[in-house]
């Protein structure tokens, strides 16, 4: 597949990100050996790689902070390569800012890391629990973080590697609702029960709805399980699963809202 065709699969996404991924894929094909991206890609990229058989000779492993991560690093490898032989440069880590005086927020940790000159794409998701920030990056960027961050908002921190088992879950509020179809306007109304179907349609038409980080203005767009729906001013949701079909042919669904 040539570069132009590959880029066309990811319309609306930063061309630099996709070009970087194409270069890594091309290198993997050339050397016939696994390549791990430095970039942590959004769902609008890694979902396409997971769901579509774009390259018959390659496989992809997409890895984030945990199962609900949005940003994922991608390992590209020849299909005949033994997965057990692959070595990853991924580091799970925590920044511990435990103190009695001040509660730090997501923006405090992310802002401090970004002040080192990082591109946001070189870091996975962040989970904050009790003044401890958990995240994921490559060995190269973990060293930069651990060597250069000693305080956040004047509070001393300690930085250390952790295992994937130590990573906490995201906080979600579960929403169970019944809808007539899996169209985007129906899903939006289920996410926000106070909205009418017409009000949901207006949000869509205004461009206030993103599905997997891509603006969708088609109210009849079909939503699939695990899709991430971002609604301006209302928050972010995951369409977790279809639970069952009711006797009146309605669809009972489970949504999860990030909190």
What are the boundaries of each domain within the chain? Answer: 3-85, 90-166, 172-258
Question: Distance (Å, rounded) from C-alpha 184 to C-alpha 218?
Answer: 8
Q: Please give the average per-residue pLDDT across 125-134, as a whole number.
A: 95
Report the pLDDT value the prediction gives residue 141, as an integer from 0 to 100: 96
Please work out, in degrees rounded to the nearest 5, the angle formed at the alpha carbon of residue 91 by the alpha carbons of 47 and 95: 110
Which pLDDT band, with edges at 50, 70 and 90, does 139 fall under?
very high
Looking at the structure, give the CATH architecture of the domain made up of residues 3-85: 2-Layer Sandwich (3.30)
pLDDT at 10 over 90: no
Q: Tell me which fold the domain 172-258 belongs to.
A: 3.10.290
**What pLDDT, on a 0 to 100 scale, did the predictor assign at position 67?**
86
* Mean pLDDT, the chain, whole residue set: 92
Query: Could you report the per-residue pLDDT of 223-246, keeping only the tens digit for each?
Result: 999 999 999 989 999 999 999 999
CATH assignment of 90-166? 3.30.70.330
What are the pLDDT digits (tens) for 85-107? 788 899 999 999 999 889 999 99
pTM recorded for the entire structure: 0.82
27 to 39, 76, 113, 191: CA distances (angstroms): 15, 10, 30, 42
**Predicted local distance difference test score (pLDDT) of residue 126:** 96
SS3 of 61, please? Answer: strand
Q: Is the separation of the CB atoms in 191 and 173 below 8 Å? A: no
Q: For residue 53, is pLDDT > 80?
A: no
Q: What was the pLDDT predicted at 225? A: 93
pLDDT at 84: 76
**How many separate helices (H) and strands (E) can be counted in the chain?**
7, 15
Residue whose structure tokens are 């949005």: 70
Bridge partners, 67 (sequence order): none
Query: What's the pLDDT score for residue 206?
Result: 95
**Which pLDDT score is estimated for 118?**
85
Band the pLDDT of 2: cuts 50, 70, 90: confident
Q: What does the block give as tokens for 157? A: 């921190």
Question: Mean pLDDT, to the nearest integer, of 70-79?
Answer: 93
What pLDDT, on a 0 to 100 scale, did the predictor assign at position 125? Answer: 95
Neighbours of 54 (CB within 10 A): 14
Condensed to tens digits (0 to 9), the pLDDT of residues 150-199 reads: 999 999 999 999 999 999 998 899 999 999 999 999 999 999 999 888 99
Torsion, Cα of 117, 164, 14, 12 (10° steps): -150
Q: Are 5 and 26 in contact (CB under 8 A)?
A: no
Sign of the C-alpha dihedral computed for residues 67, 70, 74 and 78 taken in this order:
positive
Considering only CA atoms, which of 189, 168, 179, 180 is closest in space to residue 237?
A: 189
Is pLDDT of 52 > 80?
no
Res 51: pLDDT: 73
pLDDT surpasses 80 at 11: no
Which has the closest alpha carbon to 61: 44, 79, 73? 73
Do 239 and 255 form a contact (C-beta atoms < 8 A)? yes
- The CA–CA distances, whole Å, from 53 to 48, 50, 64, 195, 249 equal 9, 8, 21, 38, 33
Contact status, residue 76 vs residue 38, Cβ threshold 8 Å:
no
Higher confidence at residue 1 or residue 201? 201
Per-residue pLDDT at 157: 96
């Amino acid at each position: 597949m040539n570069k132009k065709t590959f880029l066309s699969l990811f319309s609306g996404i930063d061309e630099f990100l996709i070009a970087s991924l194409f270069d890594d894929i091309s290198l993997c094909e050339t050397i016939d050996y696994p390549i791990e991206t430095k970039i942590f890609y959004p769902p609008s990229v890694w979902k396409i790689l997971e769901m579509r058989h774009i390259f018959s000779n390659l496989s992809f492993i997409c890895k984030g902070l945990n199962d609900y991560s949005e940003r994922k690093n991608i390992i590209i490898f020849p299909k005949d390569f033994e997965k057990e032989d692959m070595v990853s440069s991924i580091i799970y880590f925590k920044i511990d800012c435990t103190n009695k005086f001040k509660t730090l927020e997501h923006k405090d940790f992310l802002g401090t890391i970004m002040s080192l000159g990082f591109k946001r794409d070189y870091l996975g998701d962040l989970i904050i629990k009790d003044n401890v920030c958990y995240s994921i990056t490559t060995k190269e960027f973990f060293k930069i973080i651990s060597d250069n961050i000693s305080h956040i908002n004047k509070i001393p921190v300690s930085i250390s590697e952790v295992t994937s088992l130590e990573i906490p879950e995201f906080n979600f509020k579960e929403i169970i609702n019944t809808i007539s179809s899996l169209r985007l306007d129906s899903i939006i109304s289920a996410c926000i029960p106070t909205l009418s179907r017409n009000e949901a349609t207006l949000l869509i038409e205004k461009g206030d709805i993103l599905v997997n980080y891509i603006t969708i203005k088609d109210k009849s767009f079909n939503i699939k399980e695990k899709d991430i729906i971002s609604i301006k001013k209302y928050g972010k949701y995951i369409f977790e699963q279809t639970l069952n079909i009711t006797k009146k042919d309605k669809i009972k669904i489970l949504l999860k809202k990030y909190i």
